[in-house]
Amino acid sequence: MASNAAFSAHQQKDEACKKRAQPYDDRISPGAWELLDFKKATFALLSDVQDKWANMCQVLFPQDEEIPSPFDDHHINARWERLLPQFLHEELTKELDPVLAPIITRIKERISITVQMCKEQVHPQPEEQKTTPYFFGSNSNRRESVKNRTTSAIRMDNNAETLHPHQMLYEHRVPSSSEEASNAPDRPNRITLQSSDNSIRSLNR
């Protein structure tokens, strides 16, 4: 119907319509939305998230017997991953003959690797997450940078008698702005400092 008024007028007709099978529609009907009132006491007084989720699912999907969990669990938690190898080792030790103890020990060593491989197969990580990011402030990268600069400084001065890494690094480092200013040659004074030839010419004039 185009509107609620048209639907009400249609219901008041004397001649009843033939009942037809309702077409399948997985969308939530307006009537179901009206039943779902979050301000009602039956819903507002619920403090647990799972209870609210169950209440909402029962209103929207009354035909469903099993209510799914509101939380996604797509990962293997650390505790489960840590306890699984130990649990498997204990069960295998109980079931198998003690003669196979060395084989069980080898299997135990492979269980953790197998669990990790299975975890990567089920939930593969993107390549950018596998790559370790480079941080300029990290100690390891800082040490690597100093090591590279020291090596290059030693290679630059093959004629030096003593190749001390710290000394070579200091000599071949980039000078600071204050050091450049202190080592810069003095600019000649254009007014007071003149060559002798220019002075003689000025006197002859």
pLDDT of residue 12: 84
Kindly state the average pLDDT of the residues 10-20: 81
Question: What pLDDT shows up at residue 2?
Answer: 78
Q: What is the pTM of this model?
A: 0.29
Task: Between 169 and 205, name the one with better pLDDT.
Answer: 205
Range of the domain at 105: 78-124
Residue 191 lies inside a defined structural domain of this protein: no
Pairwise CA distance, residues 56 & 64, whole Å? 12
Residue 116 lies in a domain: yes
> Is the same domain home to 46 and 67?
yes
Q: Is 142 inside any structural domain?
A: no
Question: Can you tell me the distance from the alpha carbon of 171 to that of 165, in angstroms, rounded to the nearest whole number?
Answer: 10
Quick check: is 58 in a domain? yes
Q: Are residues 91 and 118 in the same domain?
A: yes
Q: Are residues 119 and 91 in the same domain?
A: yes
Query: Per-residue pLDDT tens for 73-110?
Result: 655 567 777 787 788 778 877 777 777 777 777 777 78
Please state the domain count of the chain: 2
Domain contains 190: no
* Residues 65-82 pLDDT 10s: 888 877 766 555 677 777
DSSP characters over 29-80 = PHHHHHH--TTSHHHHT--SHHHHHHHHHHHH-TT-SSPPPSS---S--HHH
Same domain, 67 and 104: no
84 and 53 in one domain?
no
Characterise 77 by phi-psi region: left (phi > 0), alpha (psi -120 to 50), beta (else).
beta
What span, in angstroms and rounded, lies between the C-alpha atoms of 10 and 30? 18
Residues 117 and 88 in one domain: yes
Per cent of the chain over pLDDT 70 is: 55
Rg of the chain (C-alpha set)? 42
